[in-house]
Amino acid sequence: MATQSLLASAWALDVNTGTSGAPVWTPVKGMTSFKETIDTTMEDDSDFDSDGWGSDQVTQRKWKLECEGKRKRDAASPSSFVADPGQQAILDAGNLVGVGSNIEVRYYRRDGAPDAWQGNVSVQYGGGGGGVTALEPFNFTLSGQGKRASITNPAA
């Protein structure tokens, strides 16, 4: 039986532009790069009873998403700039400090693989500008605020 690789471009990211009680999942369009990172803190838990073998234990994990893309606008409004709502929600949160920079997101594979999570994040936004012939870029890091929850993949 032949196997096939999963494409990195199959990832989708949605921002909750509603409330926790009544979520409105708004897709973030225009992404060209998506990277999930889980940082792990390990502590040595070796003891005298291990016959000289060491042991480590995970004591903390942190998750984050690093994304890049191109700024997009609503094609239905060619005469004026109407930002992609998902990108704009992230940009808006990225211009605030404290809890104002926190948003709720979910991310999952569009190909139906079971990989799907949801959680609260703090936004660090970058982008804007570029050369004369360049498309305007955006980049952001979403740093997890506590544990992310495994969810049923919305694309499945």
pLDDT band for 128, please (50, 70, 90 cuts).
confident
Domain of 101, in residue numbers:
10-44+56-150
User: Which band of pLDDT confidence, cut at 50, 70 and 90, is reported for residue 14?
Assistant: very high
Would residue 67 count as lying in a domain? yes
Average pLDDT of the residues in 136-156: 93
Is residue 121 domain-resident? yes
Total domains in the fold of the chain? 1
Q: Is residue 51 part of a domain?
A: no
**What does 105-142 look like in DSSP terms, one character per residue?**
EEEEETT--S-EEEEEEEEEEEE----TTPPPEEEEEE
2 vs 101 pLDDT, higher one: 101
Domain-located, residue 145: yes
Mean pLDDT on 62-67:
96
- On whether residue 28 sits in a domain, the answer given is yes
Q: Of all residues in the chain, what percent carry a pLDDT higher than 70? A: 90
Is 5 within the bounds of a domain?
no
Q: What is the pTM of this model?
A: 0.84
CATH code assigned at 138: 2.30.110
Q: So what's the pLDDT on residue 83?
A: 82
